[in-house]
Amino acid sequence: MGNCGTREENAVVAAHAQVQQLHLLQHSDKNALADRKHTRTSSDTEVNFLGQLRHPNLVKLIGYCCEDDHRLLVYEFMFRGSLENHLFRKTAIPLPWATRMSIALGAAKGLACLHNAERPVIYRDFKTSNILLDSDYTAKLSDFGLAKAGPEGDETHVSTRVMGTYGYAAPEYVMTGHLTARSDVYSFGVVLLELLTGRKSIDKSRASREHSLVDWVRPKLSDKRRLHQIIDPKLEGQYSVRAAHKACSLAYYCLSQNPKARPLMSDVVETLEPLQSGGGSDGAVVHAGGLPEYRVRRSLAGNSVHCRAIPNPKCSSAVPACRVR
């Protein structure tokens, strides 16, 4: 079938691969032409990024084929499917607390790898359906069709057409089209909330004030007394209250309306790692207000005070190096 490329010659691996996209339909109208153009761009983007980046928390691209307007991408087989199915499918067995925190950490490491690459990559479509799980529930990011190369040099952002998924996209990106790595951090905060609450980011089946998960839960995140209102009741109390509070505090900062106040993904990884044991005894410092104490730099300009999170130098060792080929 046309031009083919592969990263694996092992036929056994390929036989168990997962076909991510297969477009073999013929189109004739103008809308179909636009769809085909988007499909080509999306597929080429995936091949470009996944063909260069290797990391335990990024899905492995086995191979690809292209013929005219048809594209086929083959991923490694992810035995347990998407995180979305495990969280929201009615027949799914509830994920234990430890598994949820492990998934959050794996996904965070995947994003950190992208952001720390030699040429930073902004994922742009971080959501539960794009987080795939292998047989050991190791989380891997998939579907890089909307990924963008990050800003270079003195650039502060990438200007682009607003794309992504409603309920996950950062508000400043939706309003301005200005894309930064902190846009991904916001999306991570939304997914972390979904892991904590067992609720969808947007759920029109609930009462109107609870349609948006972020709007409903944000006022509760900094209040220890309301923790029981947030955590997924399907966990039946089987979680560390201290670890849950730290995870909620982390989500609060990731969802800040000010992008510069959000932590780096390397900070997120460092905060999540101690929570894997359940107790969370060595994580971010918690002050009296119940929020993790990120170091803050203040710059005074007249009467205004500008604050932004400062990356912790210890974070670099927490994220496995991303190999670029």
Catalytically annotated residues = 125
Residue type, 281: S
DSSP 8-state secondary structure symbol assigned to residue 285:
-
DSSP-derived pairing of the beta strands 296-301 and 304-309: antiparallel
**Alpha-carbon gap, residue 163 to 52, rounded angstroms:** 23
Strand arrangement, sheet containing 18-22:
3-6, 61-67, 70-75, 18-22
Residue 108: strand, helix, or coil: helix
Amino acid at 294: Y
Task: Quote the tokens at residue 55.
Answer: 């990391």
Measuring CA to CA, which residue among 110, 118, 4, 106 is closest to residue 62? 4
Q: Is 269 helix (H, G, I), strand (E, B) or coil?
A: helix
CA distance 202 to 108: 22
Cα-based angle 81, 87, 277 (whole degrees, multiple of 5) = 95
The amino acid at 177: G
Could you give the CA distance from residue 204 to residue 217 in angstroms, rounded to a whole number? 15
Using a 10 angstrom Cβ sphere, with 0-12 exposed, 13-18 middle and 19 or more buried, the burial of residue 176 is exposed
